[in-house]
Amino acid sequence: MTSEPHPLLGTKFAATCTGAMALAAVVQALTGVIGFLPSCATSNSTTPPAQSTPAQAERTPGEPELTRELDGLRIAVVRASRQGSDVVVDLEFTSLDRDADIRFYANNPRVSRVIAADGNSYKPKTSTIGSSTEGGWSWATLVAGLPTSGRLVYPGIPSDVATLARLDLTGVHGPEGSRDLADWSVEMQNIPIE
């Protein structure tokens, strides 16, 4: 069995399924894409794939994590700010490779929640994407390569909380006009409230 450096990561992986599974864990940690498995892990082999723990992306603890990409969709936090007694999270959604339909959930049927630095979880009262604003969910057609604004409004976060420790976003997306929309879910961390 030989090992050789991976051309992009510069890390040596054994030429086995275990090495491929380790690479899959690195891909998941760096991109947030869940479910990436090498072909050897889905074969009819009687040997179960090695269990691995996802590696942590190279970032300083407490550093803001503001952008995620998955399956041709980029989601970015533009800012979190206070507006009266609410915390507003402004977002950008970009379809990277094709025009796509997207549904973005606030609290119906799933929740895009925040966990504030005080440890409490908060649900949004509204979501907006493009010109669609709803209480439970909103939807839009994304034009390939063109960022579209989005927003979540969270009531009740105490004024002394300065950071959103975690932001969980959920929704579905797929090719424009398709009824075959795929679920997506991303997590971002350590978002400062301006």
Domain boundaries, the chain: 3-42, 67-192
Weakest mean pLDDT among 16-20, 45-49, 183-187? 45-49
Weakest mean pLDDT among 12-16, 170-174, 186-190? 12-16
Q: Which H/E stretch holds residue 62?
A: none
Weakest mean pLDDT among 30-34, 95-99, 123-127? 30-34
DSSP letter string, 101-138: EEEEESSSSS---EEETTS-EE--SEEEETTEEESSEE
CATH superfamily placement of domain 67-192: Gamma-adaptin ear (GAE) domain (2.60.40.1230)
Grouping H, G, I as helix, E, B as strand and the rest as coil, residue 20 is helix
CA nearest 69: which of 99, 33, 98, 97? 33
Residue 78 corresponds to which tokens in the numbers above? 């533009």
CA dist., res. 186 & res. 167, Å (int): 8
Q: Which H/E stretch holds residue 139?
A: strand 137-142
CA nearest 157: which of 86, 60, 54? 86
pLDDT for 14 equals 36
Give pLDDT tens digits for 16-26: 334 444 444 44
CA dist., res. 20 & res. 180, Å (int): 30
Mean pLDDT of 43-53: 32
Residue 82 corresponds to which tokens in the numbers above? 């206070």
CA dist., res. 166 & res. 187, Å (int): 7
* Threshold 0.85, pTM exceeds: no
Would you mind telling me the total number of residues written for the chain in this entry?
194
Mean pLDDT of 152-177: 92
